[in-house]
A and B are shown apart, each in its own frame.
Chain A
Amino acid sequence: MNKLKHFPLIIITVLICWLAFLFHKSQSIDTELHGETVNSIQQLKHMDALLNQDVLEVRFQSQLNMDPIADHSERLLQLLTVINVKFDTSGMSSARQLVDMTRLFNEKIHLIEQFKSHNGRLRNSLRYLPEATDRLEDHVDHELSHDLYKLTEMILFQDISSDLLNMKKSLIQLEKIVLLMDSLKASGETKLAEEISNIVNHAQLVITEHATVSMLMQQLMELPTSDAVARLFEEYDREYGQEIEGAETYRIFLFVFMIVLFIYVVFLFRRQNLMSSTLAETVGDLEFQKYAMDQHTIVSICDGNGDIIYANKRFRDISQFSEEELLGKNHNILNSGFHPDSFYKAMWATISSGHVWHGDVFNHAKNGEGYWADTTIVPFLDDDGTPFKYIAIRTDITKMKNTKEALKREHEMLERVLASIPSILIGLNEDEEINLWNHAAESTFSIKRTQAVGKKLNELDIKWDWDDVDRGLVESRNTGLARLERFKFNHADGSDGFLGVTMSAIYAKRQYAGMLLLASDITEKIQMASQMQLSQKMEAIGELAAGVAHEVNTPLQYVGDNIRFLRDSFHDIHKLYAEYQKLKQLCLEQGLACEAVEQLKTTEEEADIDYLLEEIPVAIEQSLDGVGKAGGIVSAMKEFSHPGSKMKSLLDVNRAIENTLTVCRNEWKYIAEIETEFDENLPLVECLPEINQVFLNMIVNASHAIEDKLGEGSPERGLITISTSHTDAYIQIEISDSGKGIPENLQAKVFDPFFTTKDVGRGTGQGLSISHNIIVEQHGGTLTLFSEVGKGTRFTIRIPVLSEVAGEEV
């Protein structure tokens, strides 16, 4: 992505480089340098001319000192250097001409040096000759003097004309003077000779130096320096011209390029304008949006460190800070201390890593008042993805929060209320889906709220009559209210139950919005009712039984009496029969009345008299036994159901237990064996007659328990053990059975009224409760149990020997 971003930059750089290149190429003609170079070349030419002039001036004595020529020579050399440098700089390659020219000029300067030197000598001697000749005029003879003058004249002329003929003449003249000088010397005029010798020397010098100087000047004049300069200039100019042309071409290119660029720029400009106006529009829109947002929301902007750089009016209003107090401060001036540090740390971590943060924050205003703000913080990321600015948008939700809290509390309270309602509450929405399922519903149907809510009612695994439910729902929808009394259902554990259900339809704005089912588990109530009924029936039967027993007693008496009579009578008859047999035997032995005896035998066989003699006593005994038992039952029953006084009387517990066993023999006869271990020394105890009820209950329970364990119709028999014992303080009766036992969690409940694990009709659930009441309340004793599931149960009854209720002490 970075590459893309830099792409226009690269384009621009390339364009600029291209432009610069073209420009440079078109400007590569350094006109200043060119001007300087041309100027230098001109100066060189000028200097060259000056030097020529100087040479002539020096030669022909119009210039007395050599500063100018030396000066010009120096300057010429400097110009040469400068031009070389300039040519080097401008890259002009007129090298050959330059080298040639430089060489020529160097040569020229050198020649000039030599010229100066030789010319000096020449001039010196030339100046001396006339002077010397003048001085000698008086000291020599006329002829010599004349000759000397002549020589001087010739020499001077020679200097000017360089005439060959004159030269010869001068030389000849010189010879002559030399001869004269020699003769003078010979004649002893040494000083004079010396003087003349000087003149001769100087004259000779003039001649030689003149030649040298002439030669040098010739060479100087012949040096084609000005040509060289001209040629150099020509070459340079030509090259320069070429460069100009080249630059010109580039300039044209540049021009064209500029035009194109210009058009492009205009185009860009227009586009820019367009974009600008669009941008302005957009900005205007955004401004308006921002304004609109500022009216509604609380806005603050922080820099990368969290320091506030902008806070809108609403922010200032709610936080009660002024603009000066906010700008530059860190946003943590809002911290209320409500949230833990970790809260803010997490917030910062989220936004500083470039992510948006939402949350509710409790802030403090300036005066310490708190307010809740629904906050969204958005980081602005730079190109590296690092946040450099944060904008925080907040909405004041304090009211809403408070309302929510209140609502929550209300809701919670409602929940608690609902939870504590013992009735079942099921709420249905307009789509018949469950939206309310209270605690009672949970425990009754064993369906957790989470499993119920959201489902349709008929999706739940409840065993009840669905048709009835549907009918009820329909009725409720139509009429607004429906009631199902005694609606049968199954508990989750499978046990039967009854519900009393009220269905009320809920209407919101005249539209059906759902249903509310209120149900009470009236199983127990009904059970209790039926128990009550049963109990009443039992009571009635009890009373009836007492009456019956009383009535039956009488016939039973005379039946017994009669059977005893029969027994005794038969006994006598049997004795008689025995005598008759003896007679029969006698007859048989004596052969008397054989026919009659035979008839007797036959009749004996027909009557099966042996059998009869055997069985009749047995039958009589059995009858007696039966009667006796019946009598026993009747009397036991009479004793048992004696309405009894509320007064206690001394009771032989052992006998009472025996009685009870008799009474309820049918209950245990086929189920269990009875073992009794009676304490023979058991003291008599003051008891109410109701105590028998206790024993009865115990025994019946025991046999029921064994039956449950063994299963109905089982050939096996369990064991019921009843034992009595006593201490000084109390007597103890223990009734144990080998029944199914009582689970630990129910052991405490067995004494509860109406608590029963037996099926409806089999038990009233009252037995143990009443027993407990009788033992504990009425006799001041204890009734405890010990049970092991699967093994059996043992009830322990303790009755204090000394009764607390008014009675006789034993």
Chain B
Amino acid sequence: MHIVYISLIALFVCQPVWAKDTVDRNAVRSEFIQPVPYPSELSSDKVALGEELFHDVRLSGDQRISCASCHNLASGGVDGLPRSIGVGGAEGDTNAPTVFNSGLNYSQFWDGRALTLEEQVSGPITNAKEMASNWPDVISRLNSDPAYVEKFFTIYNDGINAVNVSDALATFERSLNTVNSRFDQFLRGSVHAISDDEKKGYELFKSYGCVSCHQGQNVGGNVFQKFGVMKDYFADRGGKTRADFGRFNVTGDELDKHSFKVPSLRLAVLTAPYFHDGSAKTLHEAIDVMAKYQLGRSMPDDDAELIIKFLTTLVGSYKGEALYE
């Protein structure tokens, strides 16, 4: 029965995407980057419940860590650490990606092992290095809170269970689109929404070829790419970990070795450090690494700066407030 529910919900959720397809197909063809869509048709009850759960430490084993601990909404949806610290001070495997606009990604996690936001919820909860909990504990803790019980039963027929918790959290996460950035306004026709430098930055972003992978609504998040196309990044960096094998850990295909989901650059200016290993402390560093290993180009600093300027225009608003630091 749950599968039916998920698929129906999935179908339902896909509706806007269906609509988008017919409407935007022509628009889509003309540009690499598309504006962030306004999150629509999300049940406000679920969003509110999801928000509450997102900030609830009871989802963790020691009841001190919530989703917001590593995906802090106040700081761009990340924690600013190369790797997050979980229960008992355990260091995670990879850098925490931003929760904002995560609904626009076509898979979750660096290796794409979760196809949907709902599937992603179980990951941190059950990961010993992250929240180090389990569903039975979480559910029992939530059940012992009458406020949750009432809210859950209001929205869902079957009360508190993993599916409904994931659904609520995912619904909330889908509401975290940062909309109406200056660049989006520019895309929508406000020619003066961005400055000339920023326009120049965008041109460079395109000419250098960044746009081959960082494209679409989320400026990334819709394609997997090998980290170290032109050169062997991991050989140069050293210290290979399992996480470094990326998509290969999921598919087992040789071709997928060191292949990672291309991250979104929408909030890049807010989510340092960068890359799955959090090795690039600054955006400039990241750009340099990208130029060297992915583009096989050398990029002068001025170009990098201009590109950074462009990247700042990508930052949108959440709940009416722009997310600038």
Interface readout for B40-54 with A: 1 if CB under 8 Å, 0 if not? 000000000000000
Measured between C-beta atoms, what is the minimum distance from A768 to chain B in Å?
121
Measured between C-beta atoms, what is the minimum distance from B292 to chain A in Å?
11
| Cross-interface CB contact of A65 among B115, B216, B297, cutoff 8 Å | B216
Closest B residue, CB atoms, query A198: B296
Q: Which residues of B contact A124 (CB under 8 A)?
A: 209, 212-213, 295
Known: A78-B11, A121-B225, A201-B296. A67 touches B253 (CB 8 A): no
For B32, B226, B255, the residue with the greatest tally of chain A CB atoms inside 10 Å of its CB is: B255
Q: Which of A110-118, A513-521, A775-783 contacts B (4 or more CB under 8 A)?
A: A110-118
Q: Which residues of B contact A71 (CB under 8 A)?
A: 17, 21, 106
B29 CB–A CB distance under 8 Å = yes
Q: How far is the CA of A110 from the CA of B253 in the complex (A)?
A: 10
Q: Are B212 and A67 in touch, CB under 8 angstroms?
A: no
Known: A65-B28, A78-B14. A120 touches B212 (CB 8 A): yes
Q: Which of B2-10, B163-171, B267-275 contacts A (4 or more CB under 8 A)?
A: B2-10
Q: How far is the CA of A85 from the CA of B11 in the complex (A)?
A: 13
Q: Are A64 and B224 in touch, CB under 8 angstroms?
A: no
| Cross-interface CB contact of A67 among B14, B209, B213, B222, cutoff 8 Å | B222
From residue 63 to 115 of chain B, which have CB atoms closer than 8 A to chain A? 106, 115
Q: List 28 A-B contacts (CB under 8 A).
A: A64-B29, A64-B215, A65-B28, A65-B32, A66-B222, A67-B34, A70-B106, A70-B223, A77-B115, A81-B6, A82-B7, A89-B4, A114-B256, A116-B223, A117-B223, A117-B225, A117-B259, A120-B212, A120-B213, A121-B226, A124-B212, A128-B297, A131-B207, A194-B298, A198-B297, A198-B298, A205-B229, A205-B296
Closest B residue, CB atoms, query A64: B32
Q: How far is the CA of A68 from the CA of B28 in the complex (A)?
A: 8
B178 CB–A CB distance under 8 Å = no
Q: Are B215 and A65 in touch, CB under 8 angstroms?
A: yes
Q: Which residues of B contact A114 (CB under 8 A)?
A: 224, 253, 255-256
Q: Which residues of A contact B259 (CB under 8 A)?
A: 117
Known: A63-B29, A70-B216. A85 touches B4 (CB 8 A): yes
Q: Which residues of A contact B155 (CB under 8 A)?
A: none
From residue 222 to 240 of chain B, which have CB atoms closer than 8 A to chain A? 222-226, 229-230
Interface readout for B19-61 with A: 1 if CB under 8 Å, 0 if not? 0010001001111111000000000000000000000000000
Q: A71-B17, A205-B296 are in contact. List 7 more A-B contacts (CB 8 A).
A: A66-B223, A114-B253, A117-B223, A117-B224, A128-B209, A128-B295, A212-B255
Q: Which residues of B contact A84 (CB under 8 A)?
A: 3
Q: How far is the CA of A113 from the CA of B113 in the complex (A)?
A: 13
A331 CB–B CB distance under 8 Å = no
Measured between C-beta atoms, what is the minimum distance from B306 to chain A in Å?
17
From residue 187 to 231 of chain A, which have CB atoms closer than 8 A to chain B? 194, 198, 201-202, 205, 212
Q: Are A73 and B296 in touch, CB under 8 angstroms?
A: no
B217 CB–A CB distance under 8 Å = yes
Q: Which residues of A contact B225 (CB under 8 A)?
A: 117, 120-121
Q: How far is the CA of A71 from the CA of B247 in the complex (A)?
A: 19
Q: Which residues of B contact A75 (CB under 8 A)?
A: 14, 17
Interface residues of A (CB under 8 A from B): 62-68, 70-71, 73-75, 77-78, 81-82, 84-85, 88-89, 110, 113-114, 116-117, 120-121, 123-125, 127-128, 131, 194, 198, 201-202, 205, 212
Q: How far is the CA of A384 from the CA of B153 in the complex (A)?
A: 46
Q: How far is the CA of A5 from the CA of B255 in the complex (A)?
A: 78
Q: Which residues of A contact B11 (CB under 8 A)?
A: 78, 82
Q: Are A201 and B230 in touch, CB under 8 angstroms?
A: yes
B251 CB–A CB distance under 8 Å = yes
Interface residues on B, range: 35 or more
Measured between C-beta atoms, what is the minimum distance from B171 to chain A in Å?
17
Q: Which residues of A contact B17 (CB under 8 A)?
A: 71, 75
Q: Are B229 and A121 in touch, CB under 8 angstroms?
A: yes
Q: Which residues of B contact A89 (CB under 8 A)?
A: 4
Q: How far is the CA of A127 from the CA of B205 in the complex (A)?
A: 13
Q: Are B106 and A73 in touch, CB under 8 angstroms?
A: yes
For A65, A70, A117, A212, the residue with the greatest tally of chain B CB atoms inside 10 Å of its CB is: A65
Q: Are B230 and A113 in touch, CB under 8 angstroms?
A: no
Give the top 7 A-B pairs by smallest Cβ distance, nearest first.
A70-B222, A65-B215, A67-B216, A124-B209, A124-B212, A70-B106, A65-B216
Q: How far is the CA of A157 from the CA of B230 in the complex (A)?
A: 22
Q: How far is the CA of A88 from the CA of B255 in the complex (A)?
A: 34
Known: A71-B17, A78-B7, A89-B4. A113 touches B28 (CB 8 A): no
Measured between C-beta atoms, what is the minimum distance from A66 to chain B in Å?
5
Q: Which residues of B contact A116 (CB under 8 A)?
A: 223-224
Closest A residue, CB atoms, query B297: A198
Known: A70-B106, A194-B298, A205-B229. A65 touches B213 (CB 8 A): no
Q: How far is the CA of A39 from the CA of B286 in the complex (A)?
A: 47
Q: Which residues of B contact A110 (CB under 8 A)?
A: 251, 253
Q: Which residues of B contact A81 (CB under 8 A)?
A: 3, 6-7, 10
Q: How far is the CA of A123 from the CA of B115 in the complex (A)?
A: 26
From residue 297 to 318 of chain B, which have CB atoms closer than 8 A to chain A? 297-298
Q: How far is the CA of A125 from the CA of B213 in the complex (A)?
A: 12
Q: Are B25 and A68 in touch, CB under 8 angstroms?
A: yes
Q: How far is the CA of A82 from the CA of B207 in the complex (A)?
A: 42
Q: Are A85 and B3 in touch, CB under 8 angstroms?
A: yes
Q: How far is the CA of A201 from the CA of B292 in the complex (A)?
A: 12
Q: Which residues of B contact A117 (CB under 8 A)?
A: 223-226, 259
Q: Are B216 and A127 in touch, CB under 8 angstroms?
A: no
Known: A64-B32, A66-B222. A74 touches B106 (CB 8 A): yes
Q: How far is the CA of A73 from the CA of B251 in the complex (A)?
A: 16
Q: Which residues of B contact A201 (CB under 8 A)?
A: 230, 296
Q: Are A78 and B29 in touch, CB under 8 angstroms?
A: no
Q: How far is the CA of A131 from the CA of B204 in the complex (A)?
A: 13
Q: How far is the CA of A198 from the CA of B231 in the complex (A)?
A: 11
Q: Which residues of A contact B32 (CB under 8 A)?
A: 64-65
From residue 186 to 225 of chain B, which have CB atoms closer than 8 A to chain A? 207, 209, 212-213, 215-217, 222-225
Q: Are A66 and B216 in touch, CB under 8 angstroms?
A: yes
Q: How far is the CA of A550 from the CA of B238 in the complex (A)?
A: 198
Known: A114-B253, A117-B224. A78 touches B10 (CB 8 A): yes
Q: How far is the CA of A466 from the CA of B317 in the complex (A)?
A: 144
Q: Which residues of A contact B33 (CB under 8 A)?
A: 65
Known: A128-B209, A202-B296. A64 touches B223 (CB 8 A): no
Q: How far is the CA of A82 from the CA of B12 in the complex (A)?
A: 12
Q: Which residues of A contact B209 (CB under 8 A)?
A: 124, 127-128
Measured between C-beta atoms, what is the minimum distance from B198 to chain A in Å?
20
Q: Are B29 and A62 in touch, CB under 8 angstroms?
A: yes
Q: How far is the CA of A64 from the CA of B29 in the complex (A)?
A: 6
Q: Which residues of A contact B14 (CB under 8 A)?
A: 74-75, 78
Q: Are B21 and A68 in touch, CB under 8 angstroms?
A: yes
Q: Which residues of A contact B4 (CB under 8 A)?
A: 85, 89
Interface readout for B95-139 with A: 1 if CB under 8 Å, 0 if not? 000000000001000000001000000000000000000000000
